A and B are shown apart, each in its own frame.
Chain A
């Protein structure tokens, strides 16, 4: 029944590896390049090289591969579905199997292997970022990456402040949901039984108190922020200023070089 365990947010796993110590902005920019390159590459060798790079990075994080695999869970259906689709519905290239209504071509095999590797690489790459950077680091780097849009009127600091606050309250709200579920179970609600309508009705005793406390909390937070002179639109300084270090440049250069070369030649 524990609601908290069924959702994982803020997946940060501290292991003190070199990847953790890299500047999160570097990791974010690298992630972008990596995603783009994944779509450029169209040969098996290219994918193998990217995969090798990815495995090396995963090992470098010192995080158990299980955590990366867990991230695949929500897309496992999509993964199987698209792979199978590519396999059976690609009609070009030499035919390998032709049996009953099934017709598998060499191109189809390639395509489905590509799409399979592509999805896995994408998930691993994003996990690489979220498993090794704290939510705070992530919002700080988002603010940095979005920085140029300030000049076209996008309220970048405010957006990142909102994300920070939202992230800050996710665990609190989940804890509260857990508590409320228990409290209402003690009042005889059975969350695991009943038809769809009954189950939806069962959510009311959770959602109403949750909203009430969220609104109250928002109010309190607004007052607390104003008491500390927070004003929308005013520039703010940061407690932890991100500074690129030599190792960040080295890694950024090497990784970008590797990935871009692969996507160019393969």
Chain B
């Protein structure tokens, strides 16, 4: 069952002079499989939105957030089940590491959730495998001896060790170099496939979102402005520019060409696909002139 958000609004510091309406009438569905992208400029409310998914911010109205059918407005008592179901990886999650060894670090979440001691080692190993790190090599090391990219992976493994049904990642590639970025994205796609789970990726990089997600929500000024299958959304260049988003170059090129030749299809963001599309465009042009 999905996460269903209905007409959700949220204001920080309500009633004070500097109150800030961070979410306005958000309605969305996070299905129970696949990769969903949430994209928007800085301050558009992305982080605020996803903190509602696992109850870090609780709704103030009935039926605004339903996680697998449970209305978060009505929940009482411990929210452990929710934290386990919806794993949330924060922006710059490596800042939250604190244990002496990676093994203890990874065991922290499962222990908090009350998972039996004997099940924890296998959970830890599995989560390390998922992020592509070898257990033997890492378990006994201190998290503080790792590189930035490795720390990031450990922080993601921390959440995976709790075996969530939904994995929500807030700007997972921020601050990484291009190679580490690509690797991490590929890794996330793999994790989704292996675990058959739902992954929500928050980002302000359209190219990144385009390369991994099938469906995308575009946020701006605390609202969802556009939504739909990723490539459909990304072909609306002008709208996206108005929403202060950088349109990926391949899409810019293809949409310019499309104005000349409606047959050009904006279906690619990778270099190969774009080249193919340009080549066939040139082919058609040459044909036109040849006649």
- On A, residues with C-beta under 8 Å from B are 179-180, 182-190, 193, 204-205, 208-209, 212-213
Residues from chain B with Cβ under 8 Å of A180 in the complex: 95-96
- Contact at A190–B96, with CB atoms within 8 Å? no
Residues from chain B with Cβ under 8 Å of A213 in the complex: 95
29 CB contacts below 8 A, A to B, read A179-B90, A180-B96, A182-B51, A182-B90, A183-B93, A183-B95, A185-B56, A186-B56, A186-B83, A186-B87, A186-B89, A187-B96, A187-B158, A187-B159, A187-B162, A188-B83, A188-B84, A188-B108, A188-B109, A188-B110, A188-B113, A188-B162, A190-B78, A190-B79, A190-B112, A193-B78, A204-B98, A205-B108, A212-B144
Residues from chain A with Cβ under 8 Å of B159 in the complex: 186-187
B64 at the interface (CB under 8 A from A): no
Q: Cα distance A212–B83 when bound, in Å?
A: 26
- Contact at B54–A186, with CB atoms within 8 Å? yes
Residues from chain B with Cβ under 8 Å of A186 in the complex: 54, 56, 83, 87-90, 159
- On B, residues with C-beta under 8 Å from A are 51, 54, 56, 78-80, 83-84, 87-90, 93, 95-98, 108-113, 144, 158-159, 162
Smallest distance from the beta carbon of B75 to chain A beta carbons, Å?
13
Q: Cα distance A179–B95 when bound, in Å?
A: 10
Q: Cα distance A147–B56 when bound, in Å?
A: 49
Residues from chain B with Cβ under 8 Å of A184 in the complex: 96
Q: Cα distance A105–B93 when bound, in Å?
A: 64
- Contact at A209–B97, with CB atoms within 8 Å? yes
Q: Cα distance A212–B142 when bound, in Å?
A: 14
Smallest distance from the beta carbon of A194 to chain B beta carbons, Å?
11
Closest to A180 in B: B96
Q: Cα distance A185–B56 when bound, in Å?
A: 8
Residues from chain B with Cβ under 8 Å of A193 in the complex: 78
Number of A-B contacts (CB under 8 A): 57
Residues from chain A with Cβ under 8 Å of B56 in the complex: 182, 185-186
Q: Cα distance A42–B83 when bound, in Å?
A: 61
Residues from chain B with Cβ under 8 Å of A185 in the complex: 56, 83
Q: Name the contact of A190 in the complex, choosing from B54, B80, B158 (C-beta under 8 A).
A: B80
Residues from chain B with Cβ under 8 Å of A212 in the complex: 95, 144
- Contact at B112–A183, with CB atoms within 8 Å? no
Residues from chain A with Cβ under 8 Å of B78 in the complex: 190, 193
Q: Cα distance A208–B110 when bound, in Å?
A: 20
Residues from chain A with Cβ under 8 Å of B108 in the complex: 187-188, 205
Known: A179-B90, A182-B51, A193-B78. A187 touches B112 (CB 8 A): yes
Residues from chain B with Cβ under 8 Å of A183 in the complex: 90, 93, 95-96
10 smallest CB-CB distances across A and B, nearest first, come from A188-B112, A208-B98, A186-B88, A183-B96, A187-B109, A183-B90, A188-B113, A205-B98, A188-B83, A188-B109
Residues from chain B with Cβ under 8 Å of A189 in the complex: 112
Residues from chain A with Cβ under 8 Å of B97 in the complex: 209
Residues from chain A with Cβ under 8 Å of B109 in the complex: 187-188
Smallest distance from the beta carbon of A61 to chain B beta carbons, Å?
15
Residues from chain B with Cβ under 8 Å of A209 in the complex: 95-98
Q: Cα distance A213–B80 when bound, in Å?
A: 28
Residues from chain A with Cβ under 8 Å of B88 in the complex: 186
Q: Cα distance A183–B169 when bound, in Å?
A: 12
Q: Cα distance A65–B161 when bound, in Å?
A: 51
Residues from chain B with Cβ under 8 Å of A188 in the complex: 80, 83-84, 108-113, 162
Q: Cα distance A182–B50 when bound, in Å?
A: 12
Closest to B12 in A: A2
Known interface pairs A186-B90, A205-B108; 4 further A-B residue pairs with C-beta atoms within 8 A, sorted by A's residue number: A180-B95, A185-B83, A186-B159, A205-B98
Max chain A Cβ within 10 angstroms of own Cβ: one of B95, B96, B144, B159: B96
Q: Cα distance A212–B88 when bound, in Å?
A: 22
Residues from chain A with Cβ under 8 Å of B79 in the complex: 190
Q: Cα distance A189–B79 when bound, in Å?
A: 10
Q: Cα distance A185–B159 when bound, in Å?
A: 11
Q: Cα distance A185–B51 when bound, in Å?
A: 11
Q: Cα distance A188–B97 when bound, in Å?
A: 14
Smallest distance from the beta carbon of B163 to chain A beta carbons, Å?
12
Q: Cα distance A84–B236 when bound, in Å?
A: 73
- Contact at A205–B96, with CB atoms within 8 Å? yes
Smallest distance from the beta carbon of B94 to chain A beta carbons, Å?
9
Q: Cα distance A190–B78 when bound, in Å?
A: 8
Closest to B88 in A: A186
Closest to B84 in A: A188
Smallest distance from the beta carbon of A264 to chain B beta carbons, Å?
42
Q: Cα distance A205–B90 when bound, in Å?
A: 15
Q: Cα distance A212–B111 when bound, in Å?
A: 24
Q: Cα distance A179–B96 when bound, in Å?
A: 9
Residues from chain A with Cβ under 8 Å of B144 in the complex: 212
Smallest distance from the beta carbon of B67 to chain A beta carbons, Å?
14
Smallest distance from the beta carbon of A174 to chain B beta carbons, Å?
14
Closest to B80 in A: A188
Closest to A189 in B: B112
Smallest distance from the beta carbon of B95 to chain A beta carbons, Å?
6
